Amino acid sequence: MRGRGLVNRLAMIVAAVVLPAPLCAEDGYDLWLRYAPLEGEALARLVRFNPEIRINDHAGYVDPSLEVAAEELARGLGAMVKGAADGKDADGIIELACEGLEGVNSERFVVKPFREHDRFGLRVTGGDYGACVYGAFAILRELSLGADPYTLALDETPAMPLRMLNHWDNPDGHVERGYAGRSIFEWWHLPEKLDPRMIDYARANASIGINAVAVNNVNARAFMLEPRYIAKLARLADAWRPYGIRVFLSARFSAPRDIGGLATADPLDPAVQAWWRAKADEIYAAIPDFGGFLVKANSEGQPGPQDYGRSHADGANMLAAALGERGTVIWRAFVYAVEYGAEDSTDRTMQAYAELVPLDGQFADNVILQVKNGPLDFQPREPFHPLFGAMPQTRLMLEAQITREYLGQATGIAYLAPMWEEVLEAGTGRGGTVAQIIAPVGMAGVANTGSSRNWTGTHFDAANWYAFGRLAWNPALTSEQIAREWTAQTFTRDAAPREAVVHMMLTSRETVVDYTAPLGLAHLMGTGHHYGPAPWVCDLERPEWNPCYYHRADAAGIGFDRTATGSNALAQYTPEIAAQWADPPTIDPRYLLWFHHLPWDHRLTSGRRLWEELVATYDRGVSETEARKQVWAALVPHIDPDRHAAIAADLAIQSTEARWWRNASLAYWQSLNRLPLPDGAAPVPESLAAYQARTFPEAPGQ
């Protein structure tokens, strides 16, 4: 079994390591910014370097960004040498000289060595003051990973201008699809009291290059635009500005009617336009660098321009005119069936393309369409969204989900960088890869932070926050590179245990796919909370809310036909791309049932029949969750006890959930196809009725 192979490989690696001294307990609050003490030659080099941190203030002004860069360097360097340089005169220099470089990207930083008499130094220059913040964090990252300060040279420019977190946090503290406690934003206490956690949040974001944050749920409350909330938002903006972070606000489209006293929110109504202009002026008076509005409109019951017979472009452009050159409207492309209760016979995965492609070229220059990675809804695996490349005259950015709504809700391990890497590298046939198409604009990720002490609910979910930022800064980084960076900074620099953790991470997303959405199945989760399997749900109000709509299983077969004989969703891709998925014998089996409805006895290229392959895939997912438990258990000597115990408990939950998904799903498929399990497959231990009877009113994030 593949899972058993994973155990054997990694156990051999771990067993070869000399056991370290007992480790101090940690709670995960410091994330990847632990700056754990160095050892050996890396420590000796840094002690020898022992730099003086100097701010170049030739202009007679010290920008707050330079101050936070210097503070972070002092914090990180001091922690990494662990007092070993106490009492020793500074031998080296780190000079922060980001006064602006004409004609250079404002976020670009350069780290170069220099000599001052007999002292060695590193000089950080950049396009603007904030570039020194990125440069400082990059120096600390490299030194934390063991780099030699005497050979360090860096020159980095972010690949994308907008690298953004979208919070689905509500003002009452509830986080939609949040699995790490309540919201980190204490609106009740703002603006008078700023939680110090907000500074640590900004530090973490700046360290990975995130430069924008939308602070509230896209299912927005109109009162977030009232003066008292603008004052609260301004306090956050002031705190985050030195870290290069601009604040955005999710805006409810119906606000002129909800809080403005108007009878309409029609985007072509002059009074509505005037109300939004005045509101934008009010916000910019308080927050001069306000980023702009994030808008979810005419989707899942949210108000929007189509309520008045207007187009998405009409709505977005009205708001864009109110902001003018000062800011940006980010308009979510997640749109389908305008109102609750309305039915659209179009395949759900095709609706955004059908609505938005005819509007290409009609959006204002300061409007961005924010497009999910796939055409459905953040599923464990989807093909890339056909909108990428199909709207060449419209600015598009990628929206990913860092919070794990459909990938286990922050239990166990599901490292998502391979999923994002998969979509970024996808060739669209229309202007290059997805990464190339979004490069002029950016990426947004639905945040996974909360009030949990470790920020993300489980320690490994912090890796997804980290990976999102690193990929948005540089999509050429590989999932493996990022996992190795994060593990070394978060857990251990020792090679063997580090590599064991990295291998666990790299295979974890595929394992979740195996036991929740094998062979291209999708949207099989429970109603409302989206927790656990419920492929039997077929009676919800709208067809496209039902798992049955997506798997279309019956006695004859399973899968959604999206070829020309079915919904013809393939026609939304270029002929070259569509050809890759058009024929069952040649399609990547990972997408097989996404695009094809096939008989249970269909023969796959593996030699197995479809039913046999489906069962084997579920079983592989289960076995690999068991394998990770064993690999993690072998790491006891190398991970501090508190975090090791917490992760061991998370992995045990994940293993239980994998078995639940496997057994409940197979029980349902068998109720339709009446086929026995293949020889050697473990029997399903409970009845289908028992699995269907499970309820979870306490499930978080719903």
Residue 343 pLDDT class (50, 70, 90 cuts)? low
Same domain membership, residue 459 and residue 543: no
CATH number at residue 40: 3.30.379.10
Sheet architecture: strand order including 51-55: 51-55, 92-96, 119-126, 109-116, 154-156
Identify the pLDDT of residue 702: 86
Same domain membership, residue 408 and residue 299: yes
| Better-predicted residue by pLDDT, 84 or 698 | 698
The mean pLDDT of 115-144, rounded to a whole number, is 96
Same domain membership, residue 282 and residue 360: yes
Same domain membership, residue 168 and residue 148: no
CATH number at residue 555: 3.90.1330.10
* Whole-angstrom distance, CA of residue 488 vs CA of residue 110: 24
**Per-residue pLDDT for 5 more than 50?**
no
| Better-predicted residue by pLDDT, 25 or 612 | 612
Q: Quick one: tokens of 232?
A: 């609260």
Phi, psi (degrees; rounded to nearest 5) at 444: -125, 145
Same domain membership, residue 133 and residue 49: yes
Same domain membership, residue 454 and residue 533: no
Above pLDDT 70, what percent of the chain? 95
**Per-residue pLDDT for 17 more than 60?**
no
**Which of 156, 181, 206 is the last residue in one of the domains?**
156
3-state secondary structure of 330: strand
The mean pLDDT of 630-652, rounded to a whole number, is 97
pTM of the model: 0.96
In a domain, 178, yes or no: yes
**Per-residue pLDDT for 119 more than 60?**
yes
Identify the pLDDT of residue 78: 95
In a domain, 469, yes or no: yes
**Per-residue pLDDT for 8 more than 60?**
no
The mean pLDDT of 694-702, rounded to a whole number, is 92
Q: How many domains does the chain have?
A: 3
The closest of 22, 30, 34 to 143, measured between CA atoms, is: 34
In a domain, 454, yes or no: yes
Catalytic residue among 300, 480, 499, 640: 300
In a domain, 697, yes or no: no
Q: Are 194 and 239 in contact (CB under 8 A)?
A: yes
Active site residue 300: yes
**Which of 458, 491, 524 is the last residue in one of the domains?**
491
Torsion of CA 127, 469, 447, 515, to 10 degrees: 170
**Per-residue pLDDT for 16 more than 70?**
no
* Whole-angstrom distance, CA of residue 274 vs CA of residue 229: 20
**Per-residue pLDDT for 316 more than 90?**
yes
Catalytic residue among 405, 421, 544, 612: 405
Same domain membership, residue 683 and residue 628: yes
Q: 122-132, pLDDT tens digit by residue?
A: 999 999 999 99
The mean pLDDT of 529-554, rounded to a whole number, is 96
Q: For strand 246-250 and strand 292-295, is the pairing parallel, antiparallel, or unpaired?
A: parallel
Q: Quick one: tokens of 572?
A: 């939304």
Residue 291 pLDDT class (50, 70, 90 cuts)? very high
Residue 104 pLDDT class (50, 70, 90 cuts)? confident
190 to each of 233, 287, 379, 580, how far by Cα in Å? 8, 15, 36, 53
**Per-residue pLDDT for 85 more than 90?**
no
Residue whose tokens read 């360290």: 207
Q: 658-674, pLDDT tens digit by residue?
A: 999 999 999 999 999 99
Q: 350-360, pLDDT tens digit by residue?
A: 999 999 999 99
> Which residues constitute the domain of residue 115?
29-156
Identify the pLDDT of residue 1: 35
CATH number at residue 424: 3.20.20.80
Residue 83 pLDDT class (50, 70, 90 cuts)? confident
Catalytic residue among 377, 485, 619, 650: 377
**Per-residue pLDDT for 431 more than 70?**
yes
In a domain, 17, yes or no: no
In a domain, 173, yes or no: yes
Above pLDDT 90, what percent of the chain? 91
Identify the pLDDT of residue 344: 61
Same domain membership, residue 607 and residue 476: no
H or E element at residue 500: helix 495-516
Same domain membership, residue 171 and residue 140: no
Same domain membership, residue 623 and residue 548: yes
The mean pLDDT of 199-225, rounded to a whole number, is 98
Identify the pLDDT of residue 416: 98
Same domain membership, residue 49 and residue 140: yes
Residue 337 pLDDT class (50, 70, 90 cuts)? low
Q: Are 396 and 387 in contact (CB under 8 A)?
A: yes
**Per-residue pLDDT for 6 more than 50?**
no
Q: 509-523, pLDDT tens digit by residue?
A: 999 999 999 999 999
Same domain membership, residue 183 and residue 40: no
In a domain, 510, yes or no: no
* Whole-angstrom distance, CA of residue 670 vs CA of residue 153: 60
Kindly report the average pLDDT of the chain as a whole number: 94
Q: 568-611, pLDDT tens digit by residue?
A: 999 999 999 999 999 999 999 999 999 999 999 999 999 999 99
In a domain, 585, yes or no: no
CB neighbour burial string for 230-250, b if at least 16 within 10 angstroms, e if fewer: bebbbbbbebbbbbbbbbbbb
**Per-residue pLDDT for 12 more than 60?**
no
**Which of 99, 125, 156 is the last residue in one of the domains?**
156
